[in-house]
Structure 1
């Protein structure tokens, strides 16, 4: 401890001390708050917390593995490093105790958005420092969609909430309201829910009740509008910087090969660095395994926002129970009956049992970051 005090003495300039501290792991910084009042003030300062996070972000790309799997059971959050090849070998890095029953909603830059026991409460959780921030929301979880994003220009975490308008009736007025929460201000704000390329935003019929996909500085979700003769499916995007909603059009007739196409299952993912839509055929009932998904198409948007750049890959995937996402190399993370977790390579058709038993939630990330975010919040 005396050596630490010497480090903060006049022997080293203050900016050098700050530079050294920003390079230390979170566990060390939590302990070092006790060194002195000066260090406590420094480590809990929002500017220092942001600098430490940004340094971790820049260094995360130099890890010895290709990516990480995050997954939960009822009691713990697990982190496993994985080599992103067809064998997808896992090495557990750490695990965190979950102190109360939760449903994971989203993950971004080391932060988790979760539901707790009460439907009117959500939490931001930083497992690195085991700190929760409780946020109250007006409606139960069945009435809206949530997304977590990081605003790099302002070094701020944001939550987007789109909720059914309680006063919507007789197709008059907007069907949905939108609010944004900013961690830096600790406030919810109502924002205009309009889409430039759609003349009558009130005609939006439905929004997929799934977590948003954060990609390319925007949150994305599937949405559906009324057309003259039928419904129109599109991707609704929300730019985190200018807070404007936009429409990303889907390829025409992308559901043509599916019978009962209105029952097709849509999942937005990042596939090999591009925005992609994975479409699974309507669920088929099996007497032994219940509902299973068979057909699968992967539509990849080669140039972001350019509808002409959509390309299709048909995948011979059969008998799937659940889908959790993709690895960076494009392997699909799925559950097959009766609860076998596998990675599936759509190119080689290689299927690998990854030895995880029916997780409650799973996500893949290349940016595993520990941070001090929330340390300065009550």
Structure 2
């Protein structure tokens, strides 16, 4: 046998032996389980492996399964585009506002690099937030607008769109709005709570002037999915001077806050459906906040009160003592973000 014949023979033997070896094949259910733990960025690359994987990664059930297992990033989310400001995030989707045009808003999935621009925000848009049902992928955006008509007078309104369906913002009529106009009442202050993502509820707190010096405080709670309101009125006398209180969000509850003798006093609306307020006010010594916020140390009580509402705090509350023992300042405009494969109808690649 010549050398050339021996080489050919060895090659045939190797090929036949390779054919004889059958590599173990993973059940597809096992592949699904493994891929559901893979980070989004790596998972997007896996779409190129084969058509079956590509189809799987885009499947609604798989997207939900992957989102349930996805963990929040260790770092706060920041928009990579310096021309936009972060507003809120849920389900891997982020709502952002243009810094150059106050009426331009968009929803992004930064991990999947998908984006959807919303219809231009209405005139006098102050802020907005969104509710998202991950099971149906229905998304609604609520916009809060207010205009200062006169000295100490504010006109507030809520507008809404269903993403992928509405091309224009729809105005939601606030309860008792016509009655307020007939009485000559006007709004002194407004607080928009932002959407509570799980329940799909947003609260609009209004301090309303009846006749000087009489004021009352109402909370309009909007069920975003049903687009209906529940009205709760703060009992008279709970706070001495309503012109000095603010709307706030405490422990995921819309709340009313004032400051007396260097103490923040918080009354929370614990159950808006039952119009139930907390039994007692939660008290936060200003010293706790001054210790973690150097800008507050040399401020007067009133100046510190104003500055506090430009910052975001994570509080440690001692339930037994009824006071806050620690307050950690969270960087403005930053939130923990949970990457996902979730997209909305009409989204395009960035």
Pair in the same fold by TM > 0.5: yes
* 1:137 aligned counterpart, secondary structure: coil
Alpha-carbon displacement from aligned partner over 1:74-121 (angstroms, at most 9, x marks no partner) = xxxxx5xxxxxxxxxxxx457666221433322333322221222121
Cα distance in 2 between the residues matched to 1:270 and 1:163: 25
The structural deviation recorded for 1:158 is 1.6
* 2:280 aligned counterpart, secondary structure: strand
Within 5 Å, which residues of 2 pair with 1:311-350?
311-318=279-286, 336-338=293-295, 344-347=315-318
Distance 1:353 1:297, change over 3 A: closer
The structural deviation recorded for 1:131 is 3.5
* 1:223 aligned counterpart, secondary structure: strand
Cα distance in 2 between the residues matched to 1:302 and 1:94: 28
Cα distance in 2 between the residues matched to 1:342 and 1:241: 29
Equivalent residue for 1:267? 248
Cα distance in 1 between the residues matched to 2:223 and 2:51: 40
Distance 1:314 1:38, change over 3 A: closer
Cα distance in 2 between the residues matched to 1:353 and 1:165: 33
The structural deviation recorded for 1:267 is 0.6
Preserved CA contact (<8 Å) 1:319 1:337: no
Cα distance in 1 between the residues matched to 2:292 and 2:204: 23
Which is greater in Rg?
2
Query: What is the aligned counterpart of 1:372 among 321, 338, 341?
Result: 341
Distance 1:145 1:138, change over 3 A: closer
The structural deviation recorded for 1:31 is 0.8
TM-score by length of 1: 0.62
Equivalent residue for 1:181? 161
Equivalent residue for 2:126? 144
Corresponding pairs, count: 297
Equivalent residue for 1:71? none
Alpha-carbon displacement from aligned partner over 1:279-331 (angstroms, at most 9, x marks no partner) = 1328xxxxxxxxxx943122234444223443223414215879xxxxxxxxx
Within 5 Å, which residues of 2 pair with 1:1-378?
21-22=35-36, 24-44=38-58, 48-49=59-60, 51-56=61-66, 58-59=68-69, 79=73, 92-93=74-75, 98-117=80-99, 118-139=101-122, 143-151=125-133, 154-164=136-146, 175-185=155-165, 187-195=167-175, 200=179, 202=181, 205=187, 208=190, 210=192, 212-214=194-196, 216-227=199-210, 230-256=214-240, 261-271=242-252, 275-281=253-259, 294-318=262-286, 336-338=293-295, 344-347=315-318, 351-352=325-326, 359-363=331-335, 369-374=338-343, 377-378=347-348
- Which structure shows the bigger proportion of residues in helix conformation? 2
TM-score by length of 2: 0.66
Preserved CA contact (<8 Å) 1:56 1:370: no
Cα distance in 2 between the residues matched to 1:262 and 1:18: 58
Preserved CA contact (<8 Å) 1:182 1:188: no
